[in-house]
Amino acid sequence: MNRFAQGSLAAAVMLAALAGCKQEQQQQQGAAATPAAPVEAPATQPPAVTELKDVIENTPSYVIGISYPPAASKYPGLAAELASYSEHAKAELLKAVSELGNDKPTAPYELSLAYDVLVDTPAVVAVSGDGSSYTGGAHGQPLVARFVWLPQQQHLLKAEDLVASAKGWQALSDYAGDKLLEQATVRAQGEDLSPEEQQAQVRNLSKMIDEGTAPDPVNFSQFQPVLDAAGKISAVRFVFPPYQVGPYSDGTQTVDVPAAVLLPHVAADYQGLFAHP
């Protein structure tokens, strides 16, 4: 091969190499200039809205009636709590019906439950649930429930969260126990009993009161706020179902604990809900 041919071949090889390098460089630059496909964040699912619908069921073996206030459906979390309580009560009744087998009750088993809105403000909402579940016997089992919903925090306020310390529970226990004993004494004095019989009745009730108001959040789980004109909590009304602090004949009993008594023991997160002296 002559010198000219050798030079032409070398030049061709060099041009090919340069072209390859340039093409590779362009590919690398193009790859660098093309942004990576963005990773999409998972879509946030909105909370499920529970639509509260009244329940009416009537069969030869049982009757169920549950009513809800329309206002409660404004708060999906609260609505879910009410629905859960109702479903549990209904399941208990149907379980009792199933245990009858082929037998029929002398009177239909019955679940009656009505909810009412007690308080509805931007800061606090309270709903009562009252009724009874009858599965035989002299009378039905009372159903007493209170639900305190905090719309701004989107959660249910529970007794164990409201009071922050064992000292607070002891103070609450002492106050409620004294008030219930006063109420029992007044009732006994209004009955046609001798002084000795009155004392014996109050003495027996005091044992139930001591047990039912022991310093345990479970004993104070049912409560509702009492608001002042400014919408602040001026007292908390603790609700005691029949049998907790007295016989069935005494019914549901309540004690209003003023904010001045309760506030020193309220958890810091909820101090702002209360009226301050």
Does the structure show a pLDDT above 90 at 192?
no
Interatomic CA distance for residues 257 and 39, integer angstroms: 55
Fold of the 159-273 domain: Actin; Chain A, domain 4 (3.90.640)
- Where b means 16+ CB within 10 Å and e means fewer, 50-68 reads bebeeeeeeeeebbbebeb
The rounded percent of the chain whose pLDDT value lies above 90 is 70
User: Between vectors from CA 21 to CA 17 and to CA 25, what angle results, nearest 5°?
Assistant: 170
Mean pLDDT confidence for 38-67 = 73
pLDDT, tens only, 121-159: 999 999 999 999 999 988 899 999 999 999 999 999 999
Cα-only R_g, the chain: 35
pLDDT, tens only, 227-250: 999 999 999 999 999 999 999 999
Fold of the 55-156 domain: Heat Shock Protein 90 (3.30.565)
Task: Assess whether the region 55-156 and the region 159-273 belong to the same CATH fold.
Answer: no
Q: Which band of pLDDT confidence, cut at 50, 70 and 90, is reported for residue 195?
A: confident
Q: Write down the domain spans for the chain.
A: 55-156, 159-273
Q: Which band of pLDDT confidence, cut at 50, 70 and 90, is reported for residue 48?
A: low
